[in-house]
């Protein structure tokens, strides 16, 4: 008995040392976890000057919306985190606190960020959105936006400015509240990141007379460009857009949309319709980058598909309008045809833009608009954002497409069925 007691006394100090070592190790893991959390969620107060980033680059998804996000359920599936990184069960409760340890077939949350420009004062929370990915992601300095006015491009600049505060954001994708993804996150991420260029739809505007001579000499006519508002830009170009004051001030003063026809004004309509009809968001980024000599750094096409239709009534002034997809016309065949488009024809330049990413032939479009909630629900049921099949890539010999609009969106028109 005495011998056993002495043995127990000898083992007691060793057990205490093991216990101390155990809790010390656990504390170290917890401290490292807190450091990781702090680094992941922290933001710099100003735009990063350095364009060299050594960590995992992120895509900043910039949503320009009227108020809420009607298609948040589809984007939730796109961003969804579905797998946990394997870890020791002893630390599971601690590690589960950190988003940094969550991984998914659709992407690691550390590889994307979300920013939303909504109406001033609108808050994204459990009462206004169905997706936790959007909680609190509204920017605090939003403004009231009116279509066809300079407030639209100012809102874009505010979104880019907020996203530039995080040096990890290296690509910036501008999206509307009716945009949908056509592929899963992994495919979109690789497509955008592999290219060192921005994707900006840009072409010569020679037909519509939107250029106002009063813009000269700050904006010479030969630098005037037009294109889709929905851009994807590299960090260098995002910084140029945010830091610009000269070109933006010219647009505010001279690029204004023509007032709609008002039958009560009689002959005054003729005078009003002679004004320059300038839509700022269709010209600003394209012209600004041309002014800076960056057109050689662009894939001169948008990544967002739009199906255009010309109105036929005089009251609508024969304008081009995007068609809204509903549940009935957002079926598998339609989506397949959109994914099969691999070139865009620009009528004003007699130019065919073959869709490439880092010299590799790729589908032209990663996103599409305008989609209703019913259409988005159908995409979700078709698992468009959850799987990508290699067979969805276009064949080397493209099908024949209809000629597009004079706005240069030929690749945006579906083939005849």
Position 35 scores a pLDDT of 43
Name residue, tokens 């010390």. Answer: 24
Position 416 scores a pLDDT of 30
What are the sequence ranges of the domains in the chain? 56-412
**pLDDT tens, residue order, the chain (417 aa):** 445 444 444 445 556 666 566 566 656 555 554 444 443 333 333 444 445 788 899 999 999 999 999 999 999 999 984 333 233 333 333 333 333 334 444 455 789 999 999 999 999 999 999 999 999 999 999 999 998 899 999 999 999 999 999 999 999 999 999 999 999 999 999 999 999 999 999 999 876 678 999 999 999 999 999 999 999 999 999 999 999 999 999 999 999 886 665 556 555 555 555 566 899 999 999 999 999 999 999 999 999 999 987 554 444 445 568 899 999 999 999 999 999 999 999 888 889 999 988 788 999 999 999 999 999 999 998 888 765 333 433 333 333 323 333 333 333 333 332
Position 210 scores a pLDDT of 86
Beta-strand runs (E) in 152-297: 169-176, 180-181, 198-199, 203-204, 225-226, 232-234
Distance CA 383, CA 390 (A): 15
Distance CA 369, CA 307 (A): 8
Distance CA 146, CA 139 (A): 18
The DSSP output letter for 257 is P
Position 359 scores a pLDDT of 81
Long-range contacts of 205-211 (CB under 8 A, 24+ apart): 205/283, 205/348, 206/348, 207/348, 207/406, 208/277, 208/406, 209/276, 209/277, 210/255, 210/276, 210/277, 210/278, 210/279, 210/283, 211/276, 211/278
Position 356 scores a pLDDT of 87
Position 393 scores a pLDDT of 33
Q: The tokens of 142 are what? A: 């939003």
Position 248 scores a pLDDT of 98
**Phi and psi at residue 115, to the nearest 5°:** -135, 140
Q: The tokens of 56 are what? A: 């995992």
Asked if 139 contacts 162 with a C-beta cutoff of 8 angstroms, the reply is: yes
Q: The tokens of 164 are what? A: 């530039």
The DSSP output letter for 349 is G
Model pTM score: 0.74
Q: Find the largest Cα–Cα distance for the chain.
A: 117
């Amino acid at each position: 008995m005495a011998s056993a007691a002495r043995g127990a006394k000898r083992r007691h100090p060793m057990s205490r040392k093991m216990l101390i070592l155990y809790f010390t190790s656990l504390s170290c893991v917890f401290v490292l976890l807190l450091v990781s959390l702090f680094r992941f969620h922290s933001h710099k107060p100003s735009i990063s000057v350095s364009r060299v980033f050594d960590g995992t680059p992120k895509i900043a998804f910039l949503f320009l919306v009227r108020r809420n996000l009607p298609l948040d359920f589809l984007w939730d599936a796109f961003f969804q985190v579905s797998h946990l990184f394997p870890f020791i069960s002893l630390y599971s409760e601690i590690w589960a606190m950190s988003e940094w340890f969550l991984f998914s077939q659709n992407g690691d949350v550390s590889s994307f960020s979300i920013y939303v420009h909504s109406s001033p004062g609108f808050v994204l929370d459990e009462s206004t959105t169905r997706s936790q990915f959007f909680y609190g992601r509204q920017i605090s300095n939003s403004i009231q936006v009116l279509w066809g006015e300079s407030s639209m491009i100012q809102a874009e600049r505010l979104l880019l400015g907020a996203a530039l505060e995080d040096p990890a954001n290296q690509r910036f994708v501008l999206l509307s509240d009716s945009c949908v993804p056509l592929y899963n996150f992994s495919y979109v991420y690789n497509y955008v990141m592999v290219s060192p260029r921005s994707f900006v739809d840009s072409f010569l505007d020679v037909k519509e007379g939107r250029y106002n001579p009063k813009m000269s000499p700050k904006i010479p006519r030969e630098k005037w460009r037009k294109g889709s508002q929905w851009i994807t830009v590299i960090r260098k170009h995002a910084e140029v857009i945010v830091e610009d004051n000269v070109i933006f001030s010219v647009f505010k003063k001279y690029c204004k949309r023509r007032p709609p026809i008002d039958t009560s004004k009689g002959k005054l309509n003729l005078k009003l319709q002679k004004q320059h009809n300038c839509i700022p968001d269709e010209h600003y980024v394209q012209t600004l980058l041309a002014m800076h000599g960056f057109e050689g750094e662009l894939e001169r096409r948008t990544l967002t598909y739009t199906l255009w239709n010309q109105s036929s009534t005089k009251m609508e002034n024969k304008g081009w309008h995007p068609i809204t997809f509903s549940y009935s016309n957002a079926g598998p065949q339609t989506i397949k045809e959109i994914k099969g488009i691999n070139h865009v024809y620009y009528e004003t330049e007699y130019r065919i833009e073959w869709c490439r990413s880092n010299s590799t032939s790729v589908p032209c479009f990663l996103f599409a608009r305008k989609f209703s909630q019913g259409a988005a629900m159908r995409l979700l049921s078709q698992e468009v954002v959850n799987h990508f099949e290699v067979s969805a890539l276009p064949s080397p010999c493209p099908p024949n497409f209809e000629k597009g609009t004079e706005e240069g969106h030929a690749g945006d028109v579906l083939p005849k069925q």
